[in-house]
Amino acid sequence: MAKDSLREYSAKRTFTATPEPPAAIAEGRGGPLLFVVQQHRASRLHYDFRLECDGVLKSWAVPKGPSLDTNEKRLAVQTEDHPFGYASFEGVIPPGQYGAGEVIVWDCGVYSPDEGATWYHDRAGAEREVLDGLAKGKLSFTLRGEKLKGSFALVKTKEAKQWLLIKHRDRFVTADDVTQQDRSVLSGIAVSEMKTVPAGKRLPAVQLVPNGEVVPMPAVAKLAPMLAESADKAFNKPDWMWEPKLDGYRVLAFIGEDGVRLRSRRGIDYAANFPALAAELGKQQAVNGMVLDGEIVAFDSNARPSFGALQERAQLKTASEIAAADRDMPVVFFAFDMPWFAGIDLRAVPYRERRRYLAQCILPSPRVQLVHAVDDGIALNEAAISAGFEGVIGKRKESRYESGKRSQSWLKVKPTQTGDFVIGGYTKGKGSRGELGALIVGYWEGKKLHFASGVGSGFDDRTLAAVLARIKPLERKTMPFAEKPELMNGGVPIWVEPTNVAEVEFQSWTDDGHLRAPIFLRLRDDLDAKKVKKPEFRSTPIKGSDHVIEPTIKWSDPFIGDVVKQLEEKKKDLVLVVGKDRIKVTNLDRVYWPEDKALKQPALTKRDLLRYFARVSPFILPHLRDRPLTMIRMPDGIRGQRFFQKHWEQEKPAFVEKIRVFSGSKDEQHDYLLCNNLPTLLWLAQSGTLEFHVWHSRSNPGLDAKMQASDFDSSLEALESSVLNFPDYVVFDLDPYIYSGQESKGAEPELNTVAFEKGKEVAFWLKELLNTMSLNPIVKTSGKTGLHIFVPIKRTIDFDAARHVSELVGRHLMKQHPKDITLEWSIPKRTGKIFMDYNMNVRGKTLNVAYSPRGEPGAPVSMPLTWEELANAHPLDFRLTNAMDRLVETGDRWHDALTIKQSLERALKK
């Protein structure tokens, strides 16, 4: 019967003329059923939604595409069944053929009918449920794809062949238009590029999802995690992918009918230590057979991964303590591999496919997330280090999952060398060090414990007490080492049972086999002391990485060097190629900033602006990302017309993201642009945007956000309950109202040294006050006369509260310095003073973003500074012509919580 259903498909096509696959029934398939959504630009753009069943693909044409909004009922017109092999088809159907046009695989994954239960593990049962549902005119099912996740329904209407595709209410519901994600999940190509980008090798449809013989889940005790070798640096090669290296407990999560196990490398089950995580894995993954490889991570107050915080969590014993910790310090499981799913053993499958299966099959939740992975190991390594990660892990795309083995197919790269060592003794401390002076550590070779070093650095009061409490009860009379340790400073050793492991950072091995400059990092509860061997480190690149691609510019996006090179062409008009995106740029020699002889600065053109934005993009984009943008556009330069633009109603390229936000003052919605990538930054510069001003809140929910809601446009109440109403920092905007005497009547004060020096004096008073409150402010120049001071916070207070804090602090400082500071709104009453504008802490208010140019003579740039740098700074020290040179030399000095928090969340959720 299934074979007969493909007759219509064959009758409509001439297979000698079209690249589409011929009719064929899939046989011998095992594992979960497949779904695929193909974007098809024929006479008009539409989406073909297909469900595998009975050897073929049941198919519907969805004109507007799928939606994750429960309020959207999308028309789905049933079409002819397609062969299973069609699932991976991408290409161009020639003119004159049925369905002529371009096709990409927009999304794919596994699915299961879900009326009462899911059937991933039982293909025959799932197909019976699907056929029964289609016959009755209503089929409910769960999709596990990269873009589409959660429960949906197909409901037949009274019209022949017309159905409705409806999203059920679950945690994956969103008002965001998922079709804005317009690239293929297989090739990364957009449908508009199919005619110009050569088609790659077609992946067999059978490889799109987990497939094979259904076997029992491996026994918990018999499946061990794959381990990585060490390498000295990250590199870029086409056959490698990279992930951030997380600082947590490595576990295999077994999700089965008998519950959830979180098994460590030592065989410890952490499910009882993290019951909320175990419960969430069991409930939210909605499958009765799954093994995930990943890391349990806890975070400190700055939202950085903290192994110490995780250890404190793991030591809790009582149910009340654990419950309180789950509320106040939740842990997150970050999955990076999937050795087994719904009866299919994936260990022999290449990593590139396991990674795709994992992205499809995992159902993210607050405590369960997918680790980000990219091809650019160099850029990721630098981003990971700046965000507080340990480094990166490189994985060969063709590598199998080598359970229990340490393999060169996985490489770990850390900024410094670290190793795990057995604690065999300690020496007593002197003075304030109390009972513990240094640890005596070593490693096993066979049955002998060899001495490696004494370790006395890296302790604070807390770790001293914790380590001593752990090892003092283990004291023994005999030395556990094979040779007598060489102890510095004549320390008298106290021997202990070698059952604890310490992680130690060090520079290198000495010629006599000891550690150079060792520093204690932490205890390792997750490692078996009996299995600790001598750490080995590479001093040369890994075999096969001799063609390493070094970055053109430090911290660079891989396309930055190409953009800069293209701008060297003397043409006035160009089409900039940025990866797969194209930006038409015109009038490149138009002067934006005229020559300034006093500063010895030549005239600066649109070309100079584009070159600056390309080079500074790794620094400016983290501060722009996910923030509603207000543009100050000067298309004819700083001496021409300038205008603010908040809302964007015109057409925009596909790479430009936007959000819709409710306006309380006008009771309507408006679109705001988000500058989230290099092409958008360049496109805005082409349109004459010289200044970028952003909100103090972000549209992206994260680990530090009290509210996770992302409904910004349905009502004022929804906006106020969303993450956009919770800022990342309290702002102190210092505006000098000290005039140079050269201003025209009614004009704002122009840049002058007297005003800026008084602003710096007030800034240091403010810093001193905030420090007494245990707050650590960070500062940047405005690029004009003022200073912007930020106190980074978790997103737990709304704008009203942030404004109140800023006002209280400002008024307190004004009482201390009434002749120098004012909070007055009357401009005449501000004259001669520094105005502290606490109303900048209002939702929708903006300040120019860090590293943004200003439309002022001299082309000044808003520059983040250390407080030491501020003491001798002048705004015109930092200009379009020299800002990037300073950054290449020093890096981004703004390493406080503001930058760290954004970088961390971007790396985790990208």
Residue 470 exposed, middle or buried by CB count within 10 Å (0-12, 13-18, 19+): middle
CA distance 506 to 455: 10
CA distance 189 to 816: 61
Strands (E) located in 282-354 = 289-297, 332-341, 344-345
Residue 671 exposed, middle or buried by CB count within 10 Å (0-12, 13-18, 19+): middle
Structure tokens at 220: 């918990």
Structure tokens at 48: 């073909």
Determine contact, residues 369/703, Cβ cutoff 8 Å. Answer: no
CA distance 647 to 521: 50
CA distance 402 to 81: 40
CA distance 338 to 281: 14
CB atoms within 10 A of CB 26: 18
Q: Which long-range contacts (CB under 8 A, 24 or more apart) does 520-525 make?
A: 520/439, 520/455, 520/456, 520/457, 520/458, 520/459, 520/463, 520/467, 521/418, 521/458, 522/307, 522/308, 522/311, 522/463, 523/311, 523/466, 523/467, 523/470, 524/420, 525/311, 525/314
CA distance 412 to 245: 8
CA distance 499 to 737: 67
Structure tokens at 689: 């945007």
Determine contact, residues 812/740, Cβ cutoff 8 Å. Answer: no
Q: State the number of CA atoms in the 13 A half-sphere of 437 facing the CB.
A: 15
Q: 33: which strand partners?
A: 111
The kind and range of the H/E element at 40 are strand 33-41
Strands (E) located in 507-656 = 508-509, 515-516, 519-523, 574-578, 581-585, 591-593, 604-605, 629-633, 643-645
CA distance 232 to 6: 55
**Active site includes 245?**
yes
Q: 156: which strand partners?
A: 163
Q: What is the CA radius of gyration of the chain?
A: 30
Strands (E) located in 446-534 = 448-455, 475-476, 493-506, 508-509, 515-516, 519-523
Structure tokens at 82: 């397609």
Q: Which of 139, 145, 152 is nearest to 67 (CA)?
A: 152
CA distance 697 to 742: 37
From the candidates 58, 147, 167, 245, give the one annotated as an active-site residue.
Answer: 245
Q: State the number of CA atoms in the 13 A half-sphere of 493 facing the CB.
A: 23
Phi, psi of 574 (to 5 degrees): -145, 165
CA distance 756 to 738: 9
| Residues 6 or more apart in contact with residue 851 via CB below 8 angstroms | 616, 619, 620, 623, 861, 862, 863, 864, 883
102: alpha, beta or left? (left if phi > 0; alpha if psi -120 to 50)? beta
Active site members: 245
